[in-house]
Amino acid sequence: MANKPTRKEELEALQRYQNQLAIIKDSARPEVQHSAEQKEDRIKRARADYNYMVTQYFPHWAKTDCAPFHVKAANKSRRDKNIALLRKWGRGLAKSTHADVLEPIWLHIFHEEPMCMILVGKNLFAAKVLLSDLQAELEGNPQLLADFGPLLNEGTWAKGDFRTKRGGRFFALGKGQSPRGMRNGPQRPNYIVLDDVDDDEEINNPKQVDKSVRWVLRALIPAMGVEGGRFNMAQNLIGPYTILSCLSENPEFETFQVNALDEHGQPSWNYYTLEFYDRVRRRIGTDAFDTEYMNDPKTAGKIFTDDHLPYGPNLTRRDYYERIVGQWDIAYSESKTADFNAIPIVGLTPAGHKHLITGFCQQCKMEVAIRWMYEYQLGLPRTVVVEWYAERQFWTDAVEIAMQIVAKEYGWRLPIIIDDRPQGNKYSRILQMLPMMQRREFYVNELEKHNPDVQRGLQQVKGIEPGYTTKDDFPDALQEALSKLEAGQIYEDSEPILGPRETSSKIY
């Protein structure tokens, strides 16, 4: 959980609020003083026309008309009180403005819906700052006050809780915090927004991403109760494995994706020009632009990049592969500082390509990793053989005991070949798989995009660089597995070598 904000940060947030309030109060239009009849016509039109409501009542936000996707999202939310909408919009497309401020006001004030809203930020302080924009409108917007009268009742964004005179209540909540007790009298929360909760630190830790996803599904959404409510997430896709990407896999959530540039390469919102985006791309680079603006995250890697680890189609028939190898890089402890039990499973196609079919990468007891291998083997047709390997130097009595424990559970022994692996500089050894990737002979099973173990392993691969200090268990095992496939691969220009067969290593 984030540390408590400093006094300086609190004062800056308060000054930000006062500045925003001043901007809002200065946005009065001549229509503020119109007759009662004109006021009713204006309210009626704003109730039916979201774009009109935004441009008429919020000129300080609306420098141009809403984009079609803004209106579409608002109308989706209005029509469906139990919507679960993932606003996968690129940077700068007003995700927060609409989901956190404009739509709640439209629903609560113009459509007179009772509202109990929770606005979730990366931490509680960030959520409070986001909530302050909503309170500023309700407190100081001259057009709203002229047409509806005073709207604020009690409470304040600074405490993360305020009420309106129309019976609404609005809470701020930090990611991972308990929403228990957040009610508006007997009314449970019926409008929840996760705003920009994926962050660069967490997305590099799939286990932490999984924890956050569990919190969303098991704590946050159930806070709405059996009556349900609207769930929104405002977030661009900043990594391959994030809260957003995980929720997107759930068919109960509707993903509404909008990139900065549409399929024709033109701005999705006419507030921006193509020249603006070209300038941004040149300034921050293509990878950063694709991540932040186009929902196409590029994870940095100085040697192994996303281009070296492309996704390809899943081959449903495992007997299509000429060989399948599983390489176990053994770790003995499950502590947070321990190495990872890493098991990439790779296959060789008749065309000579190598596929990362699936994988295991966890800080866990050895028995957990061994059971995973058993379960994978049991899930295959009996005709499909996996060559399982482990390094002899790590095969200790403790490993043998763990193997015996799991073998007793299953009633049979998984044949693992104990391998005498050449030692030497690990960094240089891992680099040996780079030429194969540069030749486009390697890809990752596309079904593994949201497998946390595989994603954790690929993050380790991308972390390999001169002087690296990151974990290297998965890339080390991957290189060894791929080298075994290559060692048995026959190329068209190969010449046969005659002679006696070497005795194989011991099979345990």
pLDDT > 90: percent of the chain: 72
| pLDDT of the residue at 320 | 87
- Where helices occur in 306-414 by DSSP H, the ranges are 366-378, 397-410
pLDDT at residue 276 above 80? yes
| pLDDT of the residue at 506 | 44
- Asked whether the beta carbons of 261 and 267 are under 8 A apart, the reply is yes
| pLDDT of the residue at 500 | 54
Exposed, middle or buried, 401 (CB in 10 Å: 0-12/13-18/19+)? exposed
Domain with CATH 3.40.50.300 in the chain: 18-24+40-258
Average of per-residue pLDDT across 95-123: 97
pLDDT digits (tens, 9 = 90+) for 145-175: 999 999 999 999 999 999 999 999 999 999 9
Please give the residue that has the higher pLDDT: either 9 or 298.
Answer: 9
Range of lowest pLDDT (104-118, 132-146, 250-264, 314-328): 314-328
Question: For 418-454, b where at least 16 C-beta lie within 10 A, e where not — what string?
Answer: bbebeeeeebebbeebeebbeeebbbbbeebebbbbb
| pLDDT of the residue at 297 | 82
Q: Across the beta sheet with 161-164, what order do the strands follow?
A: 152-156, 161-164, 169-174, 116-121, 191-195, 230-234, 84-89, 254-258
pLDDT at residue 477 above 70? yes
Average of per-residue pLDDT across 414-434: 86
Whether domain 18-24+40-258 has CATH 1.10.3260.10: the reply is: no
pLDDT at residue 468 above 70? yes
**CATH assignment of 306-487?**
3.30.420.280
pLDDT digits (tens, 9 = 90+) for 126-138: 999 999 999 999 9
386: amino acid identity, one letter: V
Tell whether the torsion through CA atoms of 414, 419, 424 and 428 is positive or negative: negative
**Phi, then psi, of 185 in degrees rounded to 5:** 65, -125
pLDDT digits (tens, 9 = 90+) for 191-234: 999 999 998 888 878 889 999 999 999 999 999 988 899 999 99
Range of lowest pLDDT (5-19, 70-84, 298-312, 489-503): 489-503
Average of per-residue pLDDT across 292-305: 84
Average of per-residue pLDDT across 228-253: 94
Which residues does 435 contact at the CB level (< 8 Å), separation at least 6?
none
| pLDDT of the residue at 1 | 46
Average of per-residue pLDDT across 398-404: 93
Distance CA 240, CA 212 (A): 15
Average of per-residue pLDDT across 299-327: 87
| pLDDT of the residue at 494 | 45
Average of per-residue pLDDT across 400-422: 92
